[in-house]
Structure 1
Amino acid sequence: MIRNAPLSRRRALALGVALALAGAALPAAAQTFPDKPLKLIVNFPPGGAADVIGRAVAQAMGESLKQQVIVENRPGANGNIGAEAVAKSPADGYTLLMSSGGAMTVNPFLYRQMPFDAEKDLVPVASVARVLVFLMAHPSVPANSVAEFVAYAKAHPGKLSYGSAGQGSSPHLAAEMFTRQAGIQATHVPYRGAAPALTDLLAGQVQFMFDPGPGLKHAAEGKLRLLAVGSPQRASQLPNTPTLAESGFPGFDADTVFGIYAPGGTPAALVARLHDEVNKAVASAKVQEVIKGIGGEPLALTRQAFIERQNADRARFGKFIQEAGIKAE
């Protein structure tokens, strides 16, 4: 029948058949995916919140997908190095990024030139957790509350220093927000991740930091003093720890959303499949235990809600970075 049709009609019919076959191919690919191990790149060093959560999610996803999910740490440039590696990987669903939202919402305001387009080269797949930051001080600082800490800092201007996971990281931005609102002076000491910053806090090399959770176990042992959480609400795991808003800093919000991203151009069917797999992992008891163990809150948003939250964080943090004049070093 196609053979006897006019040329233009034959072409239209052939094009229609091709498009139908192409449309059917994506769901089929998603159904057979994966047929080899996946790689989950964490763009921060081992031991930090992104790494701890990422490894738990990778294990749960591997068990569900019946394929190994290999975790690879590629830290540096406040997450840009690992994010760039994923952005430039094949868009086939086999290479994913586990990151704080900072690489997408903060870095474009810190760096004059980004090695990738944060809004085009990476596709938000699924949110994983709302990660809180906790104001912690070394026991050498004679303060058992935020008010006492601020009073001590004002009485000793320039004496205190604080660590962070790097210039523009969420712990750094939280500390900048805090010191500016409190009207205190402190020296910023950036590290290549929250884990090495925490090591120096425990050693007393820096006097305080906004820790994304791994330091809570040390606070429980009395090695650090937990003074407040930098979130609008108290942490569900630490109901007796006040927020900074309750401690005289109204509106203080330094929460970030950690999530999974894929290279831009990844087929929609694969993104949907991966979204479901990540949500399944986040719902598992093991992953929830890990997230809550560092004071975070499991967060399995719809993709649209995840994208909207990312856009809101980009506007919120971008405004603060520009007003504070923070730049990547």
Structure 2
Amino acid sequence: MMGARRIAALALAALLPMAGLHAQEYPAKPVKIVVPFPPGGSTDVAARILAARLADEFRQPVYVENKPGAGTTIGAAYVASSAPDGYTLYVTGPITHASSQALYRKLPYDALRGFAPVGNMTVSPFIVVVHPASPAKSLKDLLEAARRQPGRLSYASSGNGAAPHLVTEIIARSAGVSFTHVPFKGVGPAVVALLGNQVDFMIADVAVVPQIREGKLRALALTTAAESALVPGVPSMAEAGMPGVDVPSGLALFAPAGTPEATVARINAAMNRALRDADVMQKFAMQGFEIQTGTPADLAAMMAREVERYGQIVRQTGIRID
């Protein structure tokens, strides 16, 4: 008669191939990508482009679900509380995600520990722009005017605590100057105010590139350490006289904390292949995005740095949302 230990061993051996098969089968059902903004914005468009290509990679439907509100924290909280099985993913900007930890006194999640980094998707500069009638022809001109008149120059942003607000404060503190912040409810109204010459400047994402090309806005500098093909000829921070300042924008993909490493690796590999697809690259370029791929470890390291950097600027300035 076969002993109990022998029977148990055979049963375990029979289960092991099943476990391996299960791991290889991901995804076995549709995958959802949560976007913490309304439909139609640049993050939403990028997520939908990626979702369409991932569906080919996974041979499963991949769809976008918008969960806007509360400065992206509604969408983030939803993802953080979702099952860590790889079927709920999250596309957001690393700056927004990292800064939420300091901007909100009470969050139902931890920006680092509540998520499994999957990988970077894009990188792009913010752009320092002024009205064409502005006397500032360079970033140096703008900063010198600010030194002569502390706090008098005003800048528009898409809202209190939004990424452009924080980035402007980082640059102001690096240069030893101060500005007056004029927050608006979204990028559109902020750009309209600058087009109307109601504020002195703003730091915006690549959404203002069309206005720059049409001569409706003048670009003084990029917030990154290197120039960008998106806006050729616009100097980097180093070229504009602020070496060491490098504040890029971008998008990244996350999963809930606890998602198996093998599943994260599978998603990362599929995403990187999707982002290197010529059609995807062209569509992203049309939206003003430069592709940036990498590993989960790359994104994890970047997020740790960003949480520290934006936590520091929030503490220094006292910026709060709640």
- Structure 2 Cα separation of the partners of residues 108 and 134 of structure 1: 25
- Structure 1 Cα separation of the partners of residues 120 and 14 of structure 2: 35
Q: How does 1:227-242 map to 2 (within 5 A)?
A: 227-242=220-235
- Structure 2 Cα separation of the partners of residues 76 and 253 of structure 1: 29
Matched residue count? 322
Shift in Å at residue 276 of structure 1? 1.8
Tell me the TM-score normalised to structure 2 length: 0.86
- Structure 2 Cα separation of the partners of residues 228 and 117 of structure 1: 34
- Structure 2 Cα separation of the partners of residues 89 and 239 of structure 1: 42
Q: Which residue of 2 aligns with 1:23?
A: 19
Tell me which of 265, 277, 281 is aligned to 1:284: 277
Q: How does 1:61-80 map to 2 (within 5 A)?
A: 61-80=54-73
After superposition, what is the alpha-carbon deviation per residue over 1:40-90, rounded to whole angstroms, capped at 9, x for unaligned?
222234554423422322232234444443333333333212111211223
Tell me which of 248, 252, 258 is aligned to 1:259: 252
Tell me the TM-score normalised to structure 1 length: 0.84
Bigger CA drift: 135-144 or 218-227? 135-144
SS of residue paired to 1:189: strand
> Conserved in 1, the CA contact under 8 Å of 2:159 and 2:185?
yes
After superposition, what is the alpha-carbon deviation per residue over 1:153-180, rounded to whole angstroms, capped at 9, x for unaligned?
4555545432334333331121102223
Alignment RMSD (CA, Å): 2.8
Q: How does 1:1-329 map to 2 (within 5 A)?
A: 4-6=2-4, 9=5, 13=9, 16-17=12-13, 20=16, 23-30=19-26, 33-36=27-30, 38-46=31-39, 48-154=41-147, 157-293=150-286, 295-329=288-322
- Structure 2 Cα separation of the partners of residues 148 and 308 of structure 1: 35
Shift in Å at residue 196 of structure 1? 4.6
SS of residue paired to 2:239: coil
Query: Structure 1 residues 121 and 262 mapped into 2: Cα distance closer, same or farther (>3 Å)?
Result: same
Provide structure 1 residue ranges, at least 5 long, that are not aligned to the other structure: none
Query: Structure 1 residues 49 and 34 mapped into 2: Cα distance closer, same or farther (>3 Å)?
Result: same
After superposition, what is the alpha-carbon deviation per residue over 1:123-175, rounded to whole angstroms, capped at 9, x for unaligned?
11121012321111223433221122234445555454323343333311211
Bigger CA drift: 14-23 or 180-189? 14-23
Shift in Å at residue 268 of structure 1? 3.2
Query: Structure 1 residues 34 and 241 mapped into 2: Cα distance closer, same or farther (>3 Å)?
Result: farther
Provide structure 2 residue ranges, at least 5 long, that are not aligned to the other structure: none
Query: Structure 1 residues 117 and 93 mapped into 2: Cα distance closer, same or farther (>3 Å)?
Result: same
Query: Structure 1 residues 314 and 173 mapped into 2: Cα distance closer, same or farther (>3 Å)?
Result: same
- Structure 2 Cα separation of the partners of residues 258 and 23 of structure 1: 33
